[in-house]
Amino acid sequence: MSEKKVNNFKDFRLLEEPCVEVYKQFSDTVPGDKKLYVDSNDVRGWWIYKNAGTQDKKVIALYNLCKKAKTDLFIDVGANYGEFSIMVVNLVERVMCFEPNPNVFPYLQKSFAHLDNVTLFRKALGTENKKCEFTFNRHYSGGGSTITERPLKWKHKGDGNNIQFQKEEYYDTIKVHMVDIVDFLQKQTFESLFIKLDCEGLDWEIVKRLEGYLTDISIGFGKSKKWRIMFERDSKIHTRHEIVNPELFPDSEIYKFCQKTNSTVIEPAFSVDDVIVGN
């Protein structure tokens, strides 16, 4: 582990094993080791290192929900370096991370190797079982996608160093295994489930794929199971008003989903661009 703390991207790229303790501001609330290894050639790795975490509002909302209601199984889809999983690993019984990016996965392994309740998959978790193309930028681990030829350009985040990597030559497309999420869940044993999705445009397709399955475990025969899903709002499908007050928009996709699965949008919402639904 690198002990040297650097303050710019140029020096960061010279580190052999950058490692950072994330979300130290929550140490009084969230116990346990929260150290993550990141790639020194990755702009997103640099952001995590520099800011000691990039998802503070989301991860504390996740932690509080998992603490409030017992969670047997947490599934992190699009885990990246594991910023979400590291927050709940000592709170839930089992964690399963899916991350198809071959550059990120070794760091995910290094960060979680000492934890017996974590299982890592270098695969995509999606809507069917198949081999598919995964396009990603070698110097920016966010934005990799199985459904677009070119992930969208990322925001500056106050750091202009990333501009140099937004060029054709830094993108690769590889073949990866996609696992059908319903098939996968049917092989798991749990009474309570939390799924976090960050799949760059595939989130709502995965949620819709789960609709029948979640209906069955919520209101089907036998003992009902508790579940929650955190996903990113697709502005082409859901307006912000529909997410905040779905009952006012009975023709909206989110309202129809909640009705079919006997679920609700969980409040308080931490962002109208992110959604948490559950029963």
Residue 95 makes CB contacts below 8 A (sequence gap 6+) with 74, 75, 76, 85, 88, 89, 112, 115, 117, 118, 119
pLDDT of residue 266: 87
Question: With contact defined as beta carbons under 8 Å apart, do 249 and 242 qualify?
Answer: yes
Residue 119 located in a structural domain: yes
Containing domain of residue 138, as a range? Answer: 9-201
Residue 117 located in a structural domain: yes
Tell the residue number behind the tokens 């690769």, with chain if given.
172
Question: With contact defined as beta carbons under 8 Å apart, do 237 and 255 qualify?
Answer: no
Residue 3 located in a structural domain: no
Q: What is the mean pLDDT of each run of 10 residues along the chain (279 residues)?
A: 72 91 91 92 93 92 91 97 96 97 97 96 97 92 80 55 75 95 96 94 94 87 84 88 90 95 78 83
Print the SS3 string covering 23-74.
Answer: CHHHCCCCCCCCEEECCCCCHHHHHHHHHCCCCHHHHHHHHHHHHHCCCCEE
Helices (H) and strands (E) in the chain, counts: 10, 13
pLDDT of residue 219: 73
Classify the phi-psi angles of 225: left when phi > 0, otherwise alpha if psi is within -120 to 50, otherwise beta.
beta
Backbone angles phi, psi at 70, to 5 degrees: -55, 135
pLDDT of residue 2: 46
Residue 157 located in a structural domain: yes
- Among candidate residues 12, 89, 96, the one with its CA nearest the CA of residue 49: 12
Tell the residue number behind the tokens 């919402």, with chain if given.
269
**What CATH number should be reported for the domain holding residue 128?**
3.40.50
Residue 4 located in a structural domain: no
Residue 105 located in a structural domain: yes
Number of domains in the chain: 1
Bridge partners (DSSP) of residue 21 are 35
Residue 126 located in a structural domain: yes
pTM: 0.93
Side-chain-side CA neighbours of residue 234 (13 Å): 17
SS3 state at 113: coil
Residue 164 located in a structural domain: yes
